[in-house]
Amino acid sequence: MPEDSIEHINFEDLNNRAISKPLVDHIFTADPSAHVFNGIIYIYPSHDIDAGEAFDDLGSHFAMEDYHVFSMEDIESETKDHGVALHVDDVAWAKQQMWAPDANEKNGTYYLFFPAKDYEGVFRIGVATSESPTGPFKARPKPIENSFSIDPAVFKDDDGEYYMYFGGLWGGQLQRWREGVFNNNKPNSPTAHIPKDNEPALLPFVAKMTDDLFEFSEAPKEIKILDEYGNLILAGDHNRRFFEAAWLHKHQEKYYFSYSTGDTHFICYAIGESPYGPFTYQGKILNPVVGWTSHHSICTIKGKDYLFYHDSSLSKGVTHLRSIKMTEIKYREDGTIETINPYS
């Protein structure tokens, strides 16, 4: 959201109209990835810290240096902060910008998947493990080989295979990987290397994980997001094209790929028959929230699906510091999702 438009918001009115309250109010949190492990809800968000720098589209205004894990006994209960679960100083390969993470579990080990910039200024994706869902997590010495860009989301399919979905435009650098190697030209422009409006939009990636969940077991593949005519969504279609915040969940045996449209701030979804897609665009899950970005996850809790998301209502937009929230998702009989307005 442009810096000037947030200044004109009446936050008292906005907070009165907000459909949900921040789950955490003692620190600023964003990009919530939620999972249920052993009957407890665990949330793995980013941690927004004001860097004291001017706002820009590369995220320089945030000093995001660690992750806290939160838990809830049920959807109405207090959100418990389990403290710092991983700090950038404890990740040998990572220099800065611990952006949106995800987590998963396999055979009693908990895995934290996270993007960070390496010492060359290139986003990579790392893995850290713990015997507890709340950490502390111990990071692998190197990032996942052939990983790039941001926003990992790791989905476990019913057959026990795990897939990582990832990618993000502008500050997330996906546009710099169009030739398969990192393009470092015009380093300060978030929109350099973005396709023209009449070209297909950049696509997110998916890769199946190795048995130990430490690496990709295959080269990452692009995920096709198609319109109602079976054509790839175009780069100029800013209300529907993929930008960041990939997430995958299943509903009635179908695969739902959801994502943020970035500069237009929608959380959208597309449905497919396979974890690799293709996915056909269906509509919006969440209308724009106030703040710099929109980002979400979808988690089934006691048979109902919930959207975890964030906005900047608690910080009243100051430096766009964000706070995590949750609300229920409602499906229509045909499997489509009712669009949620974050403010009534």
CB 33 within 8 A of CB 102: yes
CB of 21 to ligand FUB, least distance (A): 20
Task: For residue 131, report the phi and psi dihedrals to the nearest 5 degrees.
Answer: -85, -5
- Of 135, 143, 167, 168, the residue at the interface with ligand FUB (CB under 6 A) is 168
- Of 147, 293, 297, 313, the residue at the interface with ligand FUB (CB under 6 A) is 293
Enumerate residues 299-338 that contact ligand FUB by CB under 6 A.
none
Radius of gyration of the chain (CA): 18
- Of 117, 295, 296, 320, the residue at the interface with ligand FUB (CB under 6 A) is 295
Catalytic hit among 31, 151, 215, 311: 31
31 forms part of the interface with ligand FUB (CB under 6 A): yes
Residue 31 is among the residues annotated as catalytic for this protein: yes
CB 307 within 8 A of CB 296: yes
Q: With respect to ligand FUB, which residue has the nearer C-beta, 99 or 137?
A: 99
Task: For residue 319, report the phi and psi dihedrals to the nearest 5 degrees.
Answer: 50, 20
1 forms part of the interface with ligand FUB (CB under 6 A): no
Q: Does residue 107 sit in helix, strand or coil?
A: coil
- What is the CA angle 86-115-288, rounded to 5? 105
Q: With respect to ligand FUB, which residue has the nearer C-beta, 46 or 282?
A: 46
- Of 245, 290, 321, 324, the residue at the interface with ligand FUB (CB under 6 A) is 245
Catalytic hit among 65, 151, 244, 311: 244
Among 248, 42, 292, which Cα is nearest to 152's? 248
Q: With respect to ligand FUB, which residue has the nearer C-beta, 48 or 215?
A: 48
Q: Does residue 20 sit in helix, strand or coil?
A: coil
CB 257 within 8 A of CB 165: yes
- Of 18, 30, 63, 340, the residue at the interface with ligand FUB (CB under 6 A) is 30
CB of 308 to ligand FUB, least distance (A): 12
24 forms part of the interface with ligand FUB (CB under 6 A): no
CB of 166 to ligand FUB, least distance (A): 10
CB 281 within 8 A of CB 242: no
In angstroms, the CA 60 to CA 55 distance is 7
In angstroms, the CA 217 to CA 219 distance is 7
101 forms part of the interface with ligand FUB (CB under 6 A): no
Greatest Cα-to-Cα distance within the chain, rounded to the nearest angstrom: 51
Cβ count within 10 A of residue 57: 16
Q: Between 177 and 206, how does the x/- string for binding to ligand FUB read (CB under 6 A)?
A: ------------------------------
**Residues binding ligand FUB (CB under 6 A):** 30-31, 46, 59, 99-100, 150-151, 168, 244-245, 293, 295
Active site residues: 31, 244
